[in-house]
């Protein structure tokens, strides 16, 4: 076309000859500007391909002092390769003022006479669209054409059923290239397809993390997701780093730093929705047993690839979150480090229906449930536990031990919603601080707890550890109900049973002794609790040794009793010993260390206040003594 416009170039030349002729002709112009629009495939210009490749159009790009080449591309890799780093201009999202002006133009309205409420509505809409120019333009065109107010559009945008309909609409825009996708859900399809052509790892990683929350992907979450997508850790991190870099270069993810300087990533909310939408449009996978495995097989026996749809990647996201949840829960670090993963866990739970049903699925969801419990996210955990319970009842039967475990989990999820706090060290609820609607959840927990207790007694027997665990749960619920005598009676019965089964020094017996001490403690029978806890610590040191978690918990509980009985200095000393011991054994992030720190800070202030009072009293006595001596004289 360019050769035809010039008119003096022989169009019969072969491809290479024609390109050279056009290049030379442009360079001969006294002034020229060449715009290379949508240059998304930089491999055509020698970027990212072997130097020996003949597929390189960079040799035919005109150069010279009389002209300029203006590139537009989605690929940030152009910076520092085809274009000097200092001459590259990145076009990002709009500012608030720019976005407001664009919306006014698109809706053919003005903000000059807007009310305070209308301005707030506009700002809310722009925030929801994340100041993305195409999204704002499309929203404005739709509102203008349908006479929809900003408030009405926001309401539609917040509803799942109408949100996708709005975002996939493609309103005509005379400023955009004919044939280019105008839909906000389609506009990233070009970048996503380019990634798919270049790197299967990057493509799979992108769609896996699209089912997490769109903010704060920590480095280790990306690494585990990469491994789930086929990245081989033993071969080094180069392949994963390159995949992440390509996603950044196409603005599909962004790199940030948290307040501690740690690297993390984010995904534009609309990019995330576009990724999910593109998968939703694909043919769904059959929900067979092979689909439900942790390592999903991509090839069937004939070697044909299965479609990687939303179920496929939602399952991969669940695999990643369940692995991270299990690791944090078993290491005892969830209370310290788990907040960084909670939003991702809740997001995966939202998409759990895509993963289908099966015993393996319920096990993975159960691991996520453990994490939510560690983080006191009881409402979200209750919804998840109900789903797991229904799944296991259907697949395994009502009386299967795993089904009963799900009922027990649901009991704790209900009980947890009654209270405002939980001790990070012992994981016991602080029943003195209850929410206003706590009675409903306590009663619901008691009802479910009694049901699972009856089933475990029937299926497993009265002395099975799971049955004993149900009795302990009922005792704790009764404490929450204020039925302390009944709870103490259960604790005493459990202790008697454990002593008969295991003897005086077994770990189960010592745990039952602590449960009885706890029952005394919350009734205000502090001295009785103290005597038991002193005996428990003595026996734990003899049987488990100092470096065992059970011994540290015995130290922790005894320190609390000492403090309550007035031995504040002894309590503070013991709690500091416990903290130092757990730090040496478990490191900085174990939950018991978090509990120790809280008590140490609290008690140090109390001891300081005691010292100040003692000093003031001594000073007062001294003054009185001096006054008395002077009067005697």
pLDDT tens-digit profile of 468-509?
Answer: 999 999 999 999 999 999 999 999 999 999 999 999 999 999
Q: With cut-offs at 50, 70 and 90, classify the pLDDT of residue 251.
A: confident
pLDDT band (50, 70, 90) for residue 191? confident
Average pLDDT over residues 197-223: 92
Is residue 600 pLDDT above 90, yes or no?
yes
On whether the CB atoms of residues 157 and 128 are closer than 8 A, the answer is yes
Question: Is the pLDDT at 4 greater than 70, yes or no?
Answer: yes
The more confident residue out of 57 and 205 is 205
Of residues 103 and 178, more confidence is placed in 103
Average pLDDT over residues 547-569: 95
Say if residue 625's pLDDT is above 70: no
Between 346 and 287, the higher pLDDT residue: 346
Taking residues 283-290, report their average pLDDT. 46
The torsion defined by the Cα of 385, 390, 392 and 393, in degrees rounded to 10, comes to 130
Place of tokens 């993305």: 132
Residue 102 to residue 105: CA distance in whole angstroms: 5
pLDDT at residue 91 greater than cutoff 80: yes
Checking phi first, is residue 43 left (phi over 0); if not, alpha (psi -120 to 50) or beta?
alpha
pLDDT higher than threshold 50 for residue 295: no
* pLDDT > 50? residue 300: no
Residues 6+ apart with CB under 8 A from 177: 37, 38
Tokens 């619901």 belong to 444
Judge residue 503's burial from the number of C-beta atoms within 10 Å of its C-beta, 0-12 exposed, 13-18 middle, 19 or more buried: exposed
Percent of the chain with pLDDT over 70: 89
Q: Evaluate if residue 518 carries a pLDDT over 80.
A: yes
| CB-CB contact of 406 with 392 (8 Å) | yes
pLDDT of 438 higher than 70 = yes
| pLDDT per position as a tens digit, 393-431 | 999 999 999 999 999 999 999 999 998 778 888 889 888
* Mean pLDDT along residues 326-349: 90
Q: How far is CA 614 from CA 276, 395, 569, 619, in A?
A: 66, 67, 14, 9
How far is residue 433 from each of residues 416, 423, 473, measured CA to CA in Å? 12, 12, 18
Can you tell me the mean pLDDT for 87-109? 88
Strand, helix or coil for residue 254: strand
- Per-residue model confidence (pLDDT) at position 26: 87
Tell me the pLDDT band of 318, cut-offs 50, 70 and 90. Answer: very high
Alpha carbon distance 223, 207 (integer Å): 14
Q: Which two tokens stand for residue 33?
A: 């500007």
Ranges of beta strands (E only) in 275-326 are: none
Confidence of residue 114 (pLDDT cuts 50, 70, 90): confident
Report angle CA 245, 221, 428 to the nearest 5 degrees.
160
Whether residue 326 is predicted with pLDDT greater than 90 in this model: the reply is: yes
């Amino acid at each position: 076309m360019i050769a035809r416009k010039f008119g003096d170039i022989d169009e019969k030349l072969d491809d290479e000859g024609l390109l050279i002729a056009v290049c030379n002709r442009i360079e001969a112009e006294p002034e020229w500007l060449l715009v290379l629009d949508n240059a998304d495939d930089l491999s055509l210009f020698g970027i990212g391909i072997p130097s020996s490749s003949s597929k390189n159009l960079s040799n035919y790009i005109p150069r010279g002092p009389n002209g300029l080449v203006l590139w537009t591309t989605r690929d940030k890799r152009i910076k520092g390769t085809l274009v000097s780093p200092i001459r590259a201009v990145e076009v990002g999202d709009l500012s608030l003022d720019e976005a407001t002006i664009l919306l006014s133009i698109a809706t053919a309205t003005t903000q000059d006479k807007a009310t305070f409420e209308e301005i707030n509505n506009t700002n809310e809409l722009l925030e929801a669209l994340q100041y993305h120019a195409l999204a704002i333009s499309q929203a404005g065109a739709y509102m203008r054409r349908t006479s929809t107010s900003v408030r009405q559009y926001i309401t539609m945008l917040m509803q799942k059923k109408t949100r996708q309909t709005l975002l996939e609409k493609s309103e005509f825009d005379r400023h955009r290239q004919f044939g280019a996708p105008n839909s906000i859900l389609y506009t990233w399809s070009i970048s996503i397809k380019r990634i798919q052509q270049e790197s299967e790892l990057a493509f799979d990683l992108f769609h896996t993390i699209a089912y997490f929350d769109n903010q704060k992907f920590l480095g280790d979450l990306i690494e585990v997701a990469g491994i789930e997508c086929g990245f081989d850790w033993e071969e080094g991190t180069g392949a994963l780093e390159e995949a992440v870099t390509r996603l950044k270069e196409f603005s599909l993810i962004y790199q940030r730093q948290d307040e501690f300087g740690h690297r993390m990533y984010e995904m534009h909310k609309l990019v995330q929705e576009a990724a999910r939408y593109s998968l939703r449009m694909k043919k769904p996978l059959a929900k067979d047993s092979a689909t439900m495995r942790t390592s999903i097989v991509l090839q069937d026996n004939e070697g044909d690839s299965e479609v990687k749809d939303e179920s496929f990647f939602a399952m991969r996201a669940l695999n990643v979150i369940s692995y991270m949840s299990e690791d944090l829960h078993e290491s005892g670090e969830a209370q310290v480090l788990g907040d960084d993963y909670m939003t991702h866990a809740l997001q995966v739970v939202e998409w759990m229906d895509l993963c289908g049903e099966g015993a393996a699925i319920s096990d993975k969801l159960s691991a996520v449930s453990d994490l939510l419990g560690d983080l006191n996210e009881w409402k979200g955990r209750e919804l998840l536990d109900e789903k797991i319970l229904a799944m296991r009842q259907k697949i395994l039967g009502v009386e299967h031990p795993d089904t009963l475990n799900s009922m027990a989990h649901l009991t704790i999820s209900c009980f947890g919603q009654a209270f405002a706090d939980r001790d990070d060290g012992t994981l016991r609820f602080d029943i003195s601080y209850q929410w206003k609607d706590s009675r409903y959840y306590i009663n619901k927990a008691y009802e479910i707890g009694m049901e699972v207790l009856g089933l475990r007694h029937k299926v497993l027997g009265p002395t099975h550890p799971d049955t004993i665990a149900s009795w302990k749960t009922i005792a704790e619920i009764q404490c929450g109900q204020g039925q302390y005598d009944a709870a103490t009676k259960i604790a005493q019965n459990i202790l008697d049973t454990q002593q008969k089964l295991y003897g005086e020094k077994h770990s189960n017996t010592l745990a039952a002794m602590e449960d009885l001490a706890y029952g005394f403690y919350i009734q205000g029978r502090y001295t009785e609790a103290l005597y038991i806890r002193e005996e428990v610590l003595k026996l734990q040191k003899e049987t488990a040794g100092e470096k065992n978690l059970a011994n540290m918990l015995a130290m922790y509980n005894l320190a609390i009793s000492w403090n309550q009985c007035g031995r504040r200095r002894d309590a503070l000393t013991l709690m500091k010993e416990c903290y130092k011991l757990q730090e040496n054994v478990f490191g900085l992030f174990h939950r018991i260390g978090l509990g120790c720190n809280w008590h140490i800070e609290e008690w140090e202030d109390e001891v300081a206040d005691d010292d100040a009072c003692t000093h003031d009293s001594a000073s007062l006595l001294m003054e009185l003594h001096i006054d008395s001596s002077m009067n005697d004289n």
